[in-house]
Each structure stands twice: as structure tokens, then as C-alpha cells.
Amino acid sequence: MHLEKLQAFVLSNSDYGENDRIVSLFTLEHGRLKGFARGARNSRKRFGPALETLARIDVQLHHKDGLSSLRSADVITLYSGIRGVLGAIAHGLYACELVECLTPEGQALPRLYRLLATYLERLDSGTVTTADRRMFEINLLNILGYRPSLTGCSRCGADFDGRGALLQQGGELVCRFCAATGRTLSSTSLQGLRTCLATGRFGQAVLDGEALQDAGILLDESLASHSVRKLKSLEFLQQTCGTGDLDI
């Protein structure tokens, strides 16, 4: 078992016994993994603030399936701009919990790593909008292979052709021939989401008004159907920033 140096985000952490800590990391090299930090509770010297949730770090560890053993960790950034604004904290914690809940353990996802980095930098710079949250969510679903069908019916394949789509349970989008009921998502809303995927850059795709509301309903439904549990940070986000249907 050799020592590896990895880049990582701290997604969450929990105390273990009187002295130790277990951290959930999202690493560039191996994706999500759990790490055991011996002595992290009773000595701040070894890890300092590097194991705080939302920290971006360089970490040295012995990599193992199940539980890796942390040797040391150095802070790249603690995102102090996020930590000073409640809305930014809520969005940042939510993004981390989404990654923790939806990604498989031990699978490198460099595109998702970069997406999370870009999103946290944007929050850190003081830009906190629901449109950016939806941009993060649709790109996360796309990278993980869960992208909703935005151009044609997921059942019969017919092109939506400007007629919009009907939303079904689990975030499925279908045409009017395949379902009689369901909330209608307009073609403008579908186009807005496609632009979010095409640009891949925060602030470039404009989601507002009805398109932002439609995107929210679709993405909440899709994410809930793929999450292994209810997200704790979602309630905090809703309390802090409202339902998220309107831009803040």
C-alpha cells in the first residue's frame, strides 16, 4: 500500500471516537472515497482546517477500498467568500451533498470535479443565483448519464418540435401521444436547458421566468429519483433561499 498525493474536495466529515475523524472526499484521481483521519479531533496541528466541509485540499493518503488512511492534508482554498454569505453556504453544501449522494465510490469523474470547482469558485466570487444552481444540476445529471431527454420523447423517440414536453414521474419527458397528463414544459424551457449543457459555462445560459421554474420542477424530480436518500442540505437551502423557483 503506497502513499498517494491527490486533489480533493471535502464533501462532509464526522467525528469518530474521541480523537479521530472520518471524511468524505471527492478526489480528481479516484472520485469519491472515505478517509480516516487519525488524531484529527484532538490535534489541529496535523490537519489544521483542511478537513472542513467545502475545503479544497491536497491530500496524502494510503488508498484502499472502503476506507483510506489520511497521512496529511494541505488547504488549497477554504472558499472564505462562500463562508461569509448564508445563501452561498447553502448552495455550496447542497452541491457537495449532491456529489456525495449521486456519485459511485471509487470512480474518477474529472468533468464533474471541474464542474464542482467552477461552481464553488462562482459562489466564492459572490454570485449566488438559482439559475446557476440549475446549471450545476443539469450538467451533473448529464455527466453521470442521467440527462433527461430534452429533444425528443423518451418513449417513442418523436421530436418535441417546439410543442414542449410532458413531465412524468422520475423526470421522464414524453410527447402528448405517449401520455395524457403531466405538467407541460415549454419548448423555450427545454431550449434553455439544452443551452446550459451546450455552453457548460456559468452565466452564459440564461434561465429566467418560466424557463427557470420549469427547469426547477424537472431537475428536482430527476435528482430526487436518482438520490439514494433525501438530501439534508436541501431543506437548509429552501429555508435560506426559498423554493428556488425564482432567481434571488
Quick one: 52 exposed, middle or buried, by C-beta within 10 A (0-12, 13-18, 19+)? middle
Q: Which is nearer to Zn ion, 90 or 174 (CB)?
A: 174
Closest contact distance (angstroms) between CB of 155 and Zn ion is: 5
Residue nearest to Zn ion (CB): 153
- 178 interacts with Zn ion by CB under 5 A: yes
- 156 interacts with Zn ion by CB under 5 A: yes
For 37, which DSSP code? E
Q: Which is nearer to Zn ion, 170 or 203 (CB)?
A: 170
Task: Please report, as a single letter, which amino acid is at residue 34.
Answer: K
Residue 7 CB neighbour total at 10 angstroms: 16
Radius of gyration of the chain (CA): 20
Closest contact distance (angstroms) between CB of 176 and Zn ion is: 8
Quick one: 169 exposed, middle or buried, by C-beta within 10 A (0-12, 13-18, 19+)? exposed
Stretch that binds Zn ion, among 13-21, 156-164, 198-206, 226-234 (CB under 5 A): 156-164
Q: Where are the alpha helices (DSSP H) in the chain?
A: 44-47, 80-83, 86-102, 110-124, 130-143, 187-199, 209-226, 232-241
β-strand partners of 9: 26, 56
Q: Which is nearer to Zn ion, 60 or 187 (CB)?
A: 187
126 to 155: interface string for Zn ion, x by CB under 5 A = ---------------------------x-x
Closest contact distance (angstroms) between CB of 166 and Zn ion is: 9
- 176 interacts with Zn ion by CB under 5 A: no
Closest contact distance (angstroms) between CB of 156 and Zn ion is: 3
Point out which residues bind Zn ion (CB under 5 A).
Answer: 153, 155-156, 158, 175, 178
